[in-house]
Amino acid sequence: MGIRITPSILSADFTRLGEEVDRIASADGVHVDVMDNHFVPNLTLGLPVVEALRARTDQLLDIHLMIEDADRWAPAYAEAGAESVTFHVEAARAPVRLARELRSLGARASMALKPATPVEPYADLLGELDMVLIMTVEPGFGGQKFLDLCLPKIRRTRELLAPLGKDVWVQVDGGISESTIERCVEAGADTFVAGSAVFGADDPDAMVRHLRTLAEA
């Protein structure tokens, strides 16, 4: 099982995003949080900024859409060149169709679950996905406290994925740091978003490497 560290630029300096991305050269991708002030009570950035990042970096772009009407907007992020597009299942009308559309556009298709959303109702569509994102805080803001109540869902997701025999990644997002990453690994996560822990560090790339070392131990 591979380990991937995908820092969230939500905690980066938005006035110089290009340079911030350069500061995490060891990362496996850049996690980009798109918020629309409807699905979550916060507003961040959208397609033009993703397009600008695409032109600026070769890092894989891991787009996390916290927006309503995901069916309508998600494909545009794949068309913009993002390698991975995550939609919230709570905001998708036709998640199977959307996952297939994202894949047909060449992106990895990923489905996110808020802390109160169970994975079991979606068991039958996990084979349509390349990644499942288990939120470990309520989405909307960086710097929140990790919710231990999300750990059992990581385990259940792994159990549901096992019989598929496919390498579907399990990503966690929210409150991931050197003090919480190990319990997520133990529960079955393999892909880690960290915003404030990475960009709040004096040396963001050293923190990426440190988190990877902890996860791989």
Q: Which residues are catalytic?
A: 33, 173
Distance CA 22, CA 99 (A): 30
Ranked by CB distance to ligand DX5, the top (closest) residue is: 195
Among ligand DX5, Zn ion, none, the one that 119 touches (CB under a kind-dependent 5 to 8 A) is none
Distance CA 126, CA 120 (A): 10
- Contact between 33 and Zn ion by CB under 5 A: the answer reads yes
CB-CB contact of 205 with 26 (8 Å) = yes
| Minimum separation from the CB atom of position 165 to ligand DX5 (A) | 29
CB-CB contact of 137 with 158 (8 Å) = no
Site string for Zn ion, 74-103 (x = CB under 5 A): ------------------------------
Strand order across the beta sheet in which 30-35 lies: 4-5, 191-193, 169-173, 131-135, 108-113, 84-88, 61-66, 30-35
Label residues 89-117 b or e (16+ Cβ within 10 Å = b).
bbbbeebbebbebbbebebbbbbbbbeeb
- Contact between 210 and Zn ion by CB under 5 A: the answer reads no
Among ligand DX5, Zn ion, none, the one that 36 touches (CB under a kind-dependent 5 to 8 A) is none
- Contact between 29 and ligand DX5 by CB under 6 A: the answer reads no
Least Cα distance to 64 among 41, 88, 40 occurs for 88
**Residue (176 or 215) nearer to ligand DX5, CB:** 176
**Residue (8 or 59) nearer to ligand DX5, CB:** 8
- Is 46 annotated to bind a ligand? Reply is no
- Is 173 annotated to bind a ligand? Reply is yes
- Contact between 88 and ligand DX5 by CB under 6 A: the answer reads no
- Contact between 64 and ligand DX5 by CB under 6 A: the answer reads yes
Residue range at the interface with ligand DX5 (CB under 6 A); choices 4-12, 70-78, 181-189, 201-209: 4-12
Please report, as ranges, the residues that interact with Zn ion according to CB under 5 A.
33, 64, 173
